[in-house]
Amino acid sequence: MRPRKSLESCGTGAGLGVLAAAGCSRRPRRACSTRPGAGLARPKEIQDEELQGFCSRIIKLLREDLGPAAVDALQRLFLIVWATKYPRRLDKTCVDLLQATLCLPTCPEQLQVLCAAILREMSPSDSLTLSCDRAPNTRQMSLVASVLLAQGDRRQEVRSVGQRIFTVLESRQPEGPSLRHLLPVLSKVVGLAPGTLQEDQTDLLSKRLVDWLRHASVQQGLPHSGGFFSTPRARQPGPITEVDGAVASDFFTVLSTGQHFTEDQWLNVQAFSMLRAWLLHKSPEGPSTLDTDDKSELEGSTLSVLSAASTATRLLPPRERLREAAFEYCQRLIEQSNRRALRKGDADLQKACLVEAILILDVLCRQDPSFLYRTLSCLKALHTRLGTDPGSERAVLPLAQFFLNHGEAAAVGSEAIYQHLLTRLPSEHFHNPMLAFEVIRFCRDNLPLFDLHLLGILKSSFPNLFKFLAWNSPPLTSEFVGLLPALVDAGTAVEMLHTLLDLPCLTAALHLQLRSSSSPSERLLWDASLRTPSCLEAFRDPQCQGLFQHLLRTKASGSAERLTLLHQLLQPMASCARVAQCAEAVPALLQAFFSAVIQFAGRALTTQLALLLLERSDSLYQVPQYEARVQRVLSSQFLALCQRNPSLVVELARELLDFVGSVSNIHSRAGVFTSVVWAIGEYLSVTCDRRCTVEQINKFFEALEALLFEVTQSRPSADQPRCPPQVVTVLMTTLTKLASRSQDLIPRVSLFLSKMRTLAQGPASSSTHSEEDAEAIRIRATELLNLLKMPSVAQFVFTPSAEVCHPRYHRDTNMSLPLALRMVSRLVEKESSLLPG
């Protein structure tokens, strides 16, 4: 047996731990009724009338019999008030009896815990009359305090609870009441209202914490007497031991072991649990007595010597004495964490205490730099040990945080720690979700502290960090959306875009890596429902090692491999649930990537990315619905790149002509194709780039005209599905725009548009388009024909100047653009009215 670790929480008696102690973890009954023996089916549906009847029965039980029936009834009542999102109204007599039972000295502990839990669920309440003064012992005082703190400090409950606890703390004699139950409450009070404590109270608690941390008994406690097998010749308690079974050679800590524990040993454990929060109380940024410009010499000489001297320690104020005791305690924990634990529970506790010890040392060094030089050698040795200690990866994060906070002041190189954090952890522990979140959170929170060198390490490690994302995409997506702008720059943008598009493929490769691992614990993470022997063979095939090594690389390589072959090899794993989850996250990550890149991309990078969008839009890992989602993002981002660099269409004229010249692109990536055609019509003009020539316009016109003719004249088949109406209307609009800039083409496009309007009205269109789609094509063709009847107006509308693009030309009806459109509409209407029937 050992003290239960309370680093995570020393709660106020609330929550699942208290309810479990009260027996509320038992399976609830199925129905709810005021009759004895009835169960609990749907607590949310219980009406007020039935609840009041149930309260009447509870009132009777609390007045007459505080036995098992009362426990059972209070368990049901707690479930009712807990399962309802709005406060339940209980009879005042019932509430009063719950309070009285809570403070009754002879009441069983299980009933008291239940009463406190019910009253907390009803908070805030105006009918409470509880006070810590009415509690007969510290255990009941902690339960009463938990109810008062749940009220929300409407009547200064937090202050009153804190003052009462300090009264007990000040008056306590060695044989007085136990403080074990009050320290968690006091820690909560400090967190809720740190300004309520006076200076003498903080000094008092600091002194008590020093005593509990450094002067706890080193002998085990006496076993509980009074049992059936107890004898008067009970064996005397022995000394406490270390986690490896050796007799402890130094003072008691949370990592000391034994069969039974004394009161001061339990207080030692609780004192360590609240130590970091208390050190930060009123001193979050450190002492203000030293000048930051002049303290460097003082740190390394006078202060470090004085703080290390035991005679000086006794003369220090209480808060400085506590820091010294905390430093010694943490040093001892680091030494104890190096021992080989005999039990797994002790090994886990070692890791948790090591993390907490490093965090406390970080706080101490921020508050008093004299601790820094005494800490550095210890933590350097610790990092060397962590590099060879499997299972201690969680301690690398606080260690990296420590050196990030203090490395510059100590003039210590810490690159090895950051390499460990950004290289080994993602590669070896990408499947640890908590570690993944903490590493990414560490990178996000500390970006302002990273210097150029460390930022370079972070950026070059993005392929490794993406392993966390590929394996844990749902919880980490939002974190990476915030981190991506710091990872991408002009040198990594192209490679990162390839990596993002292949992220589901990376997930599949990580599955294979786990499957091939020799560690049984890692093999358990493999999805046993997958039957993919061919994928495993490919993963182990030397001919494919180069592709897999590139995909699983730890550093940015500066090059991009075409992974089409790998997509084919990993296709059997596309149905894996984790791969599908990763694929769902990619569109949001692509949006964040382009939002960041668009801020700094120059002309060369913009051209590279635009070409990459065209190339990769039909070269994606075939996960269900993944291609369509990604293509929607790529199509919108292609337009954004063209808007940022309008000359992109002229610069990529040859590539775009090849792209729009293939009918297959319409069917395989209609969204991207539509965006490309729209960009050609929008930006292929002298206004956007003076290098644009009539010859270029004519080439694009002829290519698009031939394409539109082919898709509208051919009937749909299995090899060539029907062309989407959006593509048809965009093609017609782009042809009209190009004709308005080269007016020799106006007769050709007018004739073509007339045929399109006739075709959309004819019966043949029903085989290729629905009635609504055909009507949309007819309306668009008519509108474009009307504009082409006045070429100067068409050019003004389709190729407006920069001034016309100003919003006021669209909002103000008296401006030129709305005026021109109205004029064309009226003239066309007048012309059509003069035509015979």
Average pLDDT over residues 463-480: 94
Report the b/e string of 795-829 with b at 16+ CB within 10 A: bbbbbbeeebeeeebeeeeeeebeebeeebeeebe
State residue 689's pLDDT score.
Answer: 83
State residue 553's pLDDT score.
Answer: 92
Looking at the predicted structure, is the pLDDT value of residue 810 above 50? yes
pLDDT per residue over 29-47, tens digit each? 333 443 433 444 476 677 7
Better-scored residue on pLDDT, 2 or 79: 79
> Are the beta carbons of 551 and 467 closer than 8 angstroms?
no
State residue 817's pLDDT score.
Answer: 58
Q: If 0-12 CB within 10 Å is exposed, 13-18 middle and 19+ buried, where does residue 466 land?
A: buried
pLDDT per residue over 493-542, tens digit each? 999 999 999 999 999 999 988 888 756 555 555 555 555 678 888 888 88
3-state secondary structure 768-830: CCCHHHHHHHHHHHHHHHHHHCCHHHHHHHHCCCCCCCCCHHHHCCCCHHHHHHHHHHHHHHH
**Partners of 247 in the β-ladder:** 241
pLDDT band (50, 70, 90) for residue 481? very high
Looking at the predicted structure, is the pLDDT value of residue 17 above 50? no
Looking at the predicted structure, is the pLDDT value of residue 303 above 50? no
State residue 361's pLDDT score.
Answer: 95
Give the range with max mean pLDDT: 19-33, 192-206, 574-588.
574-588
Q: If 0-12 CB within 10 Å is exposed, 13-18 middle and 19+ buried, where does residue 780 land?
A: buried
Looking at the predicted structure, is the pLDDT value of residue 551 above 70? yes
Other CB atoms closer than 10 Å to residue 334's CB: what's the count? 20
pLDDT band (50, 70, 90) for residue 804? low
Whole-angstrom distance, CA of residue 571 vs CA of residue 711: 32
State residue 431's pLDDT score.
Answer: 92
The radius of gyration of the chain's CA atoms, rounded to the nearest angstrom, is 37
Q: Taking the alpha carbons of 812, 818, 820, 822 in that order, is the dihedral positive or negative?
A: negative
CA distances from residue 406 to 308, 385, 418 in whole angstroms, order as listed: 20, 20, 14
Place of tokens 């474009």: 784
Q: What is the dihedral of CA 803, 804, 808, 812, to 10 degrees?
A: 140
Other CB atoms closer than 10 Å to residue 30's CB: what's the count? 10
Average pLDDT over residues 625-631: 93
Nearest to 486 by CA among 446, 459, 452: 459
Q: What's the N-to-C CA distance of the chain in angstroms?
A: 102
Looking at the predicted structure, is the pLDDT value of residue 305 above 60? no
pLDDT band (50, 70, 90) for residue 170? confident
State residue 352's pLDDT score.
Answer: 93
Better-scored residue on pLDDT, 822 or 363: 363
Looking at the predicted structure, is the pLDDT value of residue 835 above 80? no
State residue 333's pLDDT score.
Answer: 94
Average pLDDT of the chain, as a whole number: 81
Q: Encoding tokens for residue 261? A: 């524990």
pLDDT per residue over 643-656, tens digit each? 999 999 999 999 99
pLDDT per residue over 71-81, tens digit each? 888 888 888 88
> Are the beta carbons of 508 and 478 closer than 8 angstroms?
no
DSSP structure class, residue 723: P
pLDDT per residue over 565-596, tens digit each? 888 888 988 888 999 999 999 999 999 999 99
| Helix ranges restricted to H, 661-745 | 664-668, 670-683, 694-713, 725-741
Whole-angstrom distance, CA of residue 301 vs CA of residue 314: 20
